[in-house]
Amino acid sequence: MATKNVRLKIGEMKTSTGLVKNLELSIGSLVDDAKYPEPMGPTPMPSMTTLRDWDMKLLNKYKPFYMPDCDLCCLCTFGKCDLTAGKRGACGLDIATQSSRIVLLACSIGAACHTAHSRHLVHHLIEKYGRRFPLDIGGLNIKVEAPITRLVTGIKPETLGDLEDVLNYAEEQITQCLAVGHTGQEGNNLDFESKAFHVGMVDHIGMEVGDIAQISTLGYPKADPEAPLVKLGIGSVDRTKPVIMCIGHNVVPSVGIIDYARDNKVDDKVEVVGLCCTAHDITRYYNRGRIVGPISWQLRFVRAGLADVVVLDEQCVRTDIFDEAGKVHAPVIAASEKNCMGFKNRTNDPADEIVADLISGKVKGVLILDPEKVGEVAVRVAQQVAPIRRRMSSLPSLDELKQIAKTCTQCKQCQRNCPQDYNISKTLKVAGEGDLSLLTELYETCIGCGRCEEACPQKIMVHSLIIKAGEKAMLCEDNLCRVGRGAVSDVEIRNVGSPIVLGEIPGIVAIVGCSNYPKGGKDVYDICREFASRRYIVVVSGCAAMSAGSYRNSEGKTLYEEFPGGFEAGGVLNVGSCVANSHIAGAAIKVANIFAKRSLRGNYEEIADYIHNRLGAVGLAWGAYSQKAAAIGAGFWRLGIPVLVGPHGVKYRRMLLGREDKTEDWEVLDARTGNKVNVGPAPEHLFNSVETKEECMVAIAKLCIRPNDTWKGRSIKLSHYVDLSKRYLGVMPNDLHLFVRTMADVPSTMKDEFIKILEAHDWKETVIPDPTLLPRMVRKMKE
Amino acid sequence: MSCEPWQCAEIAATKKANPITKPEIAIAMIKKAQRPLLIVGSNATERYMGGKQLIDHLIDFANASNVPVVATAHMVGEFLKRGYQPAGFMNAMDIGQRVVDPEWQGLDGKGHPDLVLFVGLPYYVESLMLSGLKHFAPDLKTMTLDNLFHPHASWSFPNATLEEWAANLTVMTSKFNGGN
């Protein structure tokens, strides 16, 4: 977009007006509009309040429902303050405002995390490839390379260096939002919510920058619907080779490992495997990489003794993994400034010395901040440690398991500390009697947090018993995941723009996020398969993409083999790691820009208004646990895209709920006439938690309904809503009359049932508007 | 029977539930209420005690007490399968949001509930919903019929065994006119 850091220095210059000596001019950036002919929209580089009016429109429709996780505030020394039931704290804050403040803080942490990750990537990649390295995330198939960045900042980045300007903006906004969390800054819950939306929007910029930087430089698939399939699961790891396990989200140290292995021609002699989002990015870079599984499998892999070296980068890393690795004599390399683990910094020491210290056991872990050195040390240590360790495990034998289980006193502390409330003590009781079936079942659904062990007064390593019972199944986990493809191409958007907006493709379901599942990962597979079979577009990322690939159909095919990888009806596309979530929002934005030809640059409100009213997209984070997931959600909220979370998502403490029984909440403007039109609860919520998979299936179909649906599109959407409701809830929906605008909306095969419902509710026909929430979008205002 | 939060970390600060030490206390509260409402969650088919599922105990109780039932998650179909028509079905957050709204006039439009009973939601979901009601509907009475102590409720049974739970529900059902 710009020429950055222009410096002009004049030692001495004679002019008609006089002599100039030692003149120095420095210009931060020059906006070169010739390269970006689209005119700047009304809100480039928005501050925290620029889009506040838009936020309030959404928050007026979708009101916060707070469920405080804590009655107190303990953030300053006036406290602890009891905020129960309307009491205000020493600073004047009440519990609604405190709850929204916590939401803002969570979203700010998440946005900071992604953006700091991206800053590190951009720094590193500029160092390696230069500031002028061109951005390319899809060749000729992608002209809109950074839709979120263009929409929010007005910048059209063309080189790695341009991304620094984008990050400067993002970092400033995150700092501003974090500052609002200080005592005595903001006194209104809706203003906190608006700022949470703001930092969520910024989070998406941070993610986008990181992913387009790594796609452009590291040879990842570029918007490729046929990105290769890669091995997934603990059983897919070749245990005859030394295994290097990388945990986290930032691929840079993993690249160091892979490059070293390749350069030294040992890449076929060591296994480089990843866990959590680093795994996705390893496989985007390296076709021999393996995805072990989601975040919750860290203890499984390490305790089973499968890792010879553990390399930690950043985010979602168990902070006790050092202790766990120590028990199986697996050396640990911490490779991120954000995650030093208390290790001595050995970055400047000779590799030979570090390798010797780790192999001898003189030190159990080191901090190395040079990715190339990480690569050399990890590979050499793995090769030398593997024959010594010989897959040393910290799991008991099956006989020991039964003996340990007998020591359980049935106090139920394990269950009372289990996030899932699993009846663990019962499984131990029968295990002590020789029956491991319940423990084996638990292996399938346990999220691997280990809280049961912390609570056990008998010091039983409960999770190890679960892993041992499930070991046989674990070592057979050999499935496939499609490598993260990155962005959705402009061509794909053109192909599906019309059927999506008109409602004929019933929706886009983005199934993303972490693995804090209520009943195991199979639910994710089932949800993906249900909607792909119904020809929705299913987009996945992160740990959810791994869970989606971890099961097979009756023909033995994984989801990625059964369905195509394109952005098309019935497609299941894995965009990639956490930062690749930006491509999902990006695709929504590109529909408005490429298909509907709405101006993109600095034009946030109009694009969000378009998406909210026309694009039947829903996000589902079935196992969301993190602050990053909160920030990602907030970015979608501001775009007007509804987000569902699984039952553990209630712990985000605040939902944004519409009220379908309040008809006055559902009016939009008809852009053709300026008339107010009641469009019903479409979409009904902006953020909600669902309790079970069955409920989730129905909620997704319902949340894909939009005011702009054509009668044909609405009819298709309603038929799915009714069908899923009958199938999973065992009942017709009780709100169908709110979604029928004309009789043409009624699915032809369900006419009789609908007519009865409509008559019972005194239904009246209404019009299908050109919907908008923005008065300025009305072409002819009503007199 | 312990009155500690069932999930150990779900602690409340200064306003904690009164324990229901015997079912007669709950019965008196329910009989005194003008417009009670029972919210039933997805564990209704996951708990088995006293020879039948929780949902069957609850149908007996609802038939006997005439307390209207809102089924959350996918429980509506389970009720219908058993021949019981709940007064309503909706998402747990939706009913929670309505209950904190003082202007909401109940499922029948005749008035806001004055006592909301909870049972069978995942513990953490129910706990947070009760917290929401404690803070934002402080005049509303809430009660749980679970066998797990919920500190954010106004009234909660202590932690109890499945057998004790079944016995409590049976007693409660028997003390209403419609009970056997």
pLDDT tens readout for residues A8-21: 667 777 777 677 66
Chain A contacts in chain B segment 133-162 (CB below 8 A): 134-136, 138
For residue A67, give the nearest of B15, B76, B129 by CB distance.
B129
Question: Residue A1 has what pLDDT?
Answer: 46
CA dihedral A593, A599, A601, A607 (to 10 degrees): -70
Read off φ and ψ for residue A499, nearest 5 degrees: -60, -30
Question: Closest Cα of chain B to A490: distance in Å?
Answer: 38
Question: Residue A37 has what pLDDT?
Answer: 79
> Could A688 and B98 be called an inter-chain contact, meaning their C-beta atoms sit closer than 8 Å?
no
CA–CA gap between residue B159 and residue B1 (Å, rounded): 5
What pLDDT band is residue A501 in, cutting at 50, 70 and 90? confident
Residues in chain B where the model's pLDDT stays below 50: none
- Checking if the pLDDT of A27 tops 90, the result is no
Name residue, tokens 């379901």: A509
Tell me which residue of A705, A582, A573, A688 sits closest to A635, measured CA to CA.
A582
Angle formed at CA B19 by CA B13 and CA B21, multiple of 5 degrees: 165
Question: Closest Cα of chain A to B93: distance in Å?
Answer: 7
CB contact B92 to A (< 8 Å): yes
- Checking if the pLDDT of A415 tops 90, the result is yes
> Could A657 and B41 be called an inter-chain contact, meaning their C-beta atoms sit closer than 8 Å?
no
In chain A the first and final C-alpha atoms are separated, in Å, by: 44
- Checking if the pLDDT of A783 tops 70, the result is no
- Checking if the pLDDT of A26 tops 60, the result is no
For residue B125, give the nearest of A72, A95, A691 by CB distance.
A691
Name residue, tokens 């791994």: A546
For residue B128, give the nearest of A72, A417, A650 by CB distance.
A650
Question: Residue B39 has what pLDDT?
Answer: 98
For residue A65, give the nearest of B7, B73, B132 by CB distance.
B132
What pLDDT band is residue A36 in, cutting at 50, 70 and 90? confident
What pLDDT band is residue A2 in, cutting at 50, 70 and 90? very low
CA–CA gap between residue B179 and residue B172 (Å, rounded): 9
Q: State the average pLDDT over residues A569-588.
A: 98
Angle formed at CA A616 by CA A612 and CA A621, multiple of 5 degrees: 90
Cβ-contact A670, A769 below 8 angstroms: yes
Q: Which residues share a beta bridge with A538?
A: A509, A572
- The full DSSP string for chain B is -B-S-SSTT---SS--PEE--SHHHHHHHHHH-SSEEEEE-GGGGT-EETTEEHHHHHHHHHHHH---EEE-TTHHHHHHHTT---SEE--HHHHHHHHH-TT---TTSS---SEEEEESS-HHHHHHHHHHHHHH-TTSEEEE-SSS--TTSSEEPPB--HHHHHHHHHHHHHTSTT--
Cβ neighbour number for residue A141 with a 10 Å cutoff: 15
* Averaged pLDDT of chain A: 95
Q: State the average pLDDT over residues A185-192.
A: 97
Length of chain B as a residue count: 180
pLDDT digits (tens, 9 = 90+) for A79-104: 999 999 899 999 999 999 999 999 99
Question: Residue A540 has what pLDDT?
Answer: 98
Question: Residue A3 has what pLDDT?
Answer: 45
Sorted by where each begins, the domain ranges of chain B are 19-174
Decide: helix, strand or coil at residue A19.
Answer: strand
Q: State the average pLDDT over residues A523-540.
A: 98
pTM above 0.90, yes or no: yes
What pLDDT band is residue A126 in, cutting at 50, 70 and 90? very high
pLDDT digits (tens, 9 = 90+) for A474-497: 999 999 999 999 999 999 999 999
Contacts of A68 in chain B (CB under 8 A): 128, 131-132, 135
- The CATH architecture one would assign to domain B19-174 is 3-Layer(aba) Sandwich (3.40)
Domains of chain A: 1-31 (no CATH), 32-52+65-218 (1.10.8.190), 234-389 (3.40.50.2030), 398-460 (no CATH), 479-776 (3.40.50.2030)
Q: Is the ipTM of this complex over 0.95?
A: yes
Question: Residue A7 has what pLDDT?
Answer: 56
What percent of chain A has pLDDT above 70?
96
> Per-residue b/e over B36-66, b at no fewer than 16 CB within 10 Å?
bbbbbbbbbbebebbeebbbbbbbbbbbbbe
Beta-carbon contacts below 8 Å between A and B: 128
Cβ-contact A399, A431 below 8 angstroms: no
